[in-house]
Amino acid sequence: MPELPEVETIKNELLPHLVGHRVSGVTLFWEGIVRQPTAEEFCFRLIGQEITGVARRGKYLIFSLTSGEKLIFHLRMTGSLLLKPASAEPEKFIRAIVHLDKETKLYFRDPRKLGVMWLVEDTNSIVGKLGPEPLEADFTPQVLAQRLTNRIAPVKALLCDQTLIAGVGNMYADEALFTARIHPLRSGKGLSQDEVEGLHNAIQQVLRTAIGNKGASVDTYFRPDGTLGTAHFEFKVAHRLSGKFCPVCGTLIERIAVRNRGTYFCPRCQPEKARFY
């Protein structure tokens, strides 16, 4: 699933091609991709509007429009947004096309049909419950500590909770916990102050590195020009197939399920009991 670095890359790479351009038409091959309003009203209200901005919040992509409305995307498991020339041939798994002026169109490709679009006046009706942005200045170690205090859930599950921190999912939670040497099943409240500070640094570090590498193409993630990101080549534990060894200590990487999410970690670098240095 695309997480913060993937959606940030898509935002950065779409922005220069979309801002200032007008929506000349919309084609829906799968009406279920429109969550709000009705498919008919969605097309009616969107056509003719100019895109004035492209932003990201958590894993959501937000287009600002001249009317003040927002066109919001969530790519879920297998969605991608691809920029194509207007003359491009139809492809498999395209659920919607936003036609733009200047001979460009935007494909919403989604093999599993889980992606969603909304056209709304109030952005907060969709993203209002998200936690802080982990790369913003107001996300401090103290903020993370407050959010983990009194939480008995496994820290892996807490990191993936979008109301706790926005944009971190399965891959980057595993990477951040490995970097911070914290076992994924430890409880939020059981972490020491030093561990929370280390985890805070690790979250920012793994996200920044992955943005620099244009996201991780482990599943069906593509950049808008159809090329792949390279962030997964630097993964230490996430999405490791069984039989891989820890790049730090050489121990076999283990896979466990944490709240139904496949979770990879090094049992030696990330011991189950807290370490005291």
Q: Would you count residue 244 as binding Zn ion (CB under 5 A)?
A: no
Q: Which is nearer to Zn ion, 65 or 246 (CB)?
A: 246
Q: Provide the residue type at 199 as one letter.
A: L
Task: State the minimum distance, in angstroms, from the CB of residue 270 to Zn ion.
Answer: 7
Q: Pick between residue 11 and residue 240 the one whose CB is nearest to Zn ion.
A: 240
| Residue 145 touching Zn ion (CB under 5 A) | no
For Zn ion, the binding residue among 157, 207, 246, 253 (CB under 5 A) is 246
For the annotated catalytic residues, the residue numbers are 2-3, 59, 261
Counting contacts by CB under 5 A, is residue 266 touching Zn ion? yes
Interacting span for Zn ion (CB under 5 A) from 13-21, 105-113, 120-128, 243-251: 243-251
Residue 211 makes contact with Zn ion by CB under 5 A: no
Total residues found in the chain within this entry: 277
Kindly state the smallest distance separating residue 247's Cβ from Zn ion, in Å: 8
- Cβ nearer to Zn ion, comparing 35 with 268: 268
Check if the beta carbon of residue 95 is closer than 8 Å to that of residue 29.
yes
Task: State the nearest-atom distance from the C-beta of 127 to Zn ion, in Å.
Answer: 37
Q: Is 237 in the site for Zn ion (CB under 5 A)?
A: no
The verdict on 269 binding Zn ion (CB under 5 A) reads: yes
- The closest alpha carbon to 136, from 3, 1, 4, 2, belongs to 4
For Zn ion, how many residues bind (rule: CB under 5 A)?
Answer: 7
Q: Which residues of this chain interact with Zn ion, rule CB under 5 A?
A: 246, 248-249, 251, 266, 268-269
